[in-house]
Structure 1
Amino acid sequence: MADVVVKLSVRDLRPADLAHCGWSGSEQHVAGVAKQLERARLGEVDYLAVCPATDIPVAKVGVDYLVKEGVGTLWQLAVHPALQSCGIGTLLVEAAERRIRDRGLRRAELGVEEDNPRARALYERLGYVAFDRQPDAWDERAPDGSLYRHETMCTLMRKDLS
Structure 2
Amino acid sequence: MIDVVLKLSARDLVHADLESLGWAGSAHHLADVSRQLERARFGEVDYLAVCPASNIPVAKCGVDYRVKEGVGTLWQVAVHPALQSCGIGTFLVEVAQQRIRNRGLRHAELAVEENNSRARALYERLGYVAYDCRPDSWDEQAPDGSLRRYETMCVLMRKELA
Same fold (TM over 0.5): yes
Q: 1:38 is paired with a residue of what secondary structure?
A: helix
Shift of 1:141: 1.5
> Following superposition of structure 1 onto structure 2, how do residues 80-159 of structure 1 map, counting pairs within 5 Å?
80-159=80-159
Residue 13 of structure 2 corresponds to 13
Dislocated runs of 4+, deviation >3 Å: none
- 1:76-119 Cα offsets, whole Å, 9 max, x none, are 00000000000000000000000000000000000000110000
Alignment partners' CA distance in 2, 1:150 and 1:28: 13
User: Sequence identity of aligned pairs in percent?
Assistant: 75
Alignment partners' CA distance in 2, 1:30 and 1:147: 14
Shift of 1:146: 2.1
Alignment partners' CA distance in 2, 1:60 and 1:83: 13
Alignment partners' CA distance in 2, 1:64 and 1:14: 16
> How large is the RMSD of aligned CA atoms in angstroms?
0.5
Alignment partners' CA distance in 1, 2:32 and 2:128: 26
Alignment partners' CA distance in 1, 2:154 and 2:20: 28
How many residues are aligned here? 162
Alignment partners' CA distance in 1, 2:146 and 2:36: 24
Residue 79 of structure 1 corresponds to 79
Query: Does residue 1:45 correspond to 2:79, yes or no?
Result: no
Unaligned runs of 5+ in 1: none
Alignment partners' CA distance in 1, 2:144 and 2:92: 33
Q: Please give the TM-score of this superposition, normalised by the length of structure 1.
A: 0.99
Unaligned runs of 5+ in 2: none
- Higher mean C-alpha displacement, 111-120 vs 144-153: 144-153
Q: Which amino acid aligns with 1:52?
A: P
Alignment partners' CA distance in 1, 2:148 and 2:80: 24
